[in-house]
Structure formats: C-alpha cells, structure tokens
Amino acid sequence: MPGPGPATAALLALFLWWFSTGAILLAVRRAERHGARGRWLAASGGLPLLGLGAWGLAASLGRADPTGVLVAFVSAVAVWGWIELAFLTGLVTGPNRRPCPPGLPGWERFLRGWGTVAHHDMALTAALLLVGWAAMGAANPFGFWTFAVLYAARISAQLNLFLGVPRVNLEFLPAGLGHLASHFRIAGWSWLFPVSVTGLGLATGCWLERLMAAGTPGAATGFSLLAAITALALVEHWLMVLPLPDAKLWRWMLPDPPARRPDPRERPHEL
C-alpha cells in the first residue's frame, strides 16, 4: 500500500505537532475547570491513546514501507502525548510540589527542580528504553528514532529553562503545576543554549543527508519525518530567545483558564 512521499510526510509531521499540542492543551484546560477529579479523568481517559500507540509501535516494527513508517511515527507521538498529558494534569510529575525559595545555591536549585519532574522524566526514560529494546534489529526503527528525538529535545529544553533563557512562556502552564515557574530562570542564555541549537541543527542536517541518500520509499518517508520534528524542536528552542508570539498558534482554540488569584510564589524569583 503506497504511503506519503517525503514532502507530504514533513507536512503531516508539522500538522501532527500543532494538532497534538493543541489537543493536549485543550484537554488540560477543560480538566482544570473540574479540579483534581477532572485532571484525573483527563489522564485516565487518554489511556486508549497510550494503548493504541504501543500497539502501533509493535505492529509496525516489521513494516519498512512508507505506511508502516508513518504508523510508527504517529504511534510514537501518541505514546509521548499521553505521558505529556499525564504530566500536565499532575498525575505523573515529581515528589517536589513546592515553589523554589529564592537565593538557593545552584546544586540545591537543580535537585529541587528535578524533583518537580522526576517521575515524568523516569517515565519517559523507561518508555525510551522499552521502545529501543523492541526496535533492536527491526526492519522499521523509525518509531524509536522519533521517540529518541522527542526525548532529547525535551531534556535539552528542561535544562535550558533551569540554567536560564530570556523567554519562558507560562501562558499554558496549568494551575496545578504553578510551582514549576519558580524553578525556571529568566536571564540571558547559558552555555547550554548554543550547544543545544548546534546539536539540533546538526541532527536536522544529518536526517536531511540520509533523506537524500535514502534507497527505499520507506526510508525516505522516515528520514523526512525525523528531519521535520528535529527542525521543529530547533525552532522551539529558538523561541526561548526570540520575542515571537508563538502562543497565538493555540490560544484561539482554547477556552479561557479558570479564574484564580495570582500567587507571587509561583513566579520565577529572577523576575
């Protein structure tokens, strides 16, 4: 069965990035209106997405044609999306749920910051290892590479937010995760930012080079998808620095957040 060509695959990756981000934000925003019960229902209601993603990853391992590669890509994003939904609803976060006191030394800030996302990061790491183990020697490893790119970009973004970037978009941060903002550092970029954007740029170039040398339609589709999502991760990193209104991409489709009294403890102390 013929699948999408490289250009179509790249456009599908762009649409999936936009749509899945908006769908998760919409689910979280609606769940917030019903408190803790609503957040739990949103996360548990997304479990079929996790199941379908796991099934799609397993079913596509032996299919190296374009359709099989696309199924692997979408399935990896589905698994990733549920873990992000569980994080944003507060179901899988970390043991530390308190704001960061000002004036702490760097090592203690790091430990407290990681404590806010420790369970989430461990869930992502476990999923990455499991998908990687399943994909060893498989005809279609693109599900694993998709998850690996998302994982690397996420860890890089977290570290940059901790070390310092000029722009931090807190507009879509759920009320239940308001304490996270105090662990972010709004400042000039750190040494890690040029390392991150250089690495993502090189990875994008690597996928494009592999796309040009692809010997099968399935490989061309897979490397096109990887190049697209890696380039999107690169753009998201630059949005931590450049004053662009990226939130407008999703604000129009979301209901207004539930009214709540602002808590000064939830703001980054560097502000």
The structural domain count of the chain equals 1
Identify whether 182 is part of a domain: yes
| pTM over 0.95, yes/no | no
Identify whether 225 is part of a domain: yes
Identify whether 200 is part of a domain: yes
Identify whether 50 is part of a domain: yes
- Which H or E run includes 20? helix 6-32
Q: Token pair of 58, please?
A: 């397993």
Identify whether 162 is part of a domain: yes
Alpha-carbon span 146 to 74, nearest angstrom: 9
Domain residues for the domain of 175 are 6-251
pLDDT tens, position by position, 142-177 = 999 999 999 999 999 999 988 889 888 777 778 788
Identify whether 263 is part of a domain: no
The answer to whether residues 22 and 237 touch, using CB atoms and an 8 Å cutoff, is: no
Identify whether 266 is part of a domain: no
Residue matched to tokens 């996360």: 43
Q: What pLDDT sits at residue 271? A: 31
Residues 76-97 as b/e (b if ≥16 CB within 10 A, e otherwise) read bbbbbbbbbbbbbbbbbbbebe
CB atoms within 10 A of CB 47: 12
From the CA atom positions of the chain, what is the Rg in Å? 19
Q: What percent of the chain has pLDDT over 70?
A: 90
Q: What pLDDT sits at residue 25? A: 85
Residue 114 has pLDDT above 80, yes or no: yes
Alpha-carbon span 156 to 119, nearest angstrom: 17
Residues 172-195 as b/e (b if ≥16 CB within 10 A, e otherwise) read bbbebbbbbbbbbbbeebbeebee
Contacts of 3 (CB under 8 A, 6+ apart): 9, 65, 66, 67, 68, 69, 70, 217, 218, 221
The answer to whether residues 201 and 234 touch, using CB atoms and an 8 Å cutoff, is: yes
pLDDT tens, position by position, 218-245 = 999 999 999 999 999 999 999 888 877 7
CB atoms within 10 A of CB 229: 24
Task: Give one DSSP letter per residue of 198-241, joined into a string.
Answer: HHHHHHHHHHHHHHHT--SHHHHHHHHHHHHHHHHHHHHHHTTT
Identify whether 127 is part of a domain: yes
pLDDT tens, position by position, 46-70 = 899 999 999 999 999 999 999 999 9
The answer to whether residues 196 and 160 touch, using CB atoms and an 8 Å cutoff, is: yes
Alpha-carbon span 202 to 224, nearest angstrom: 15
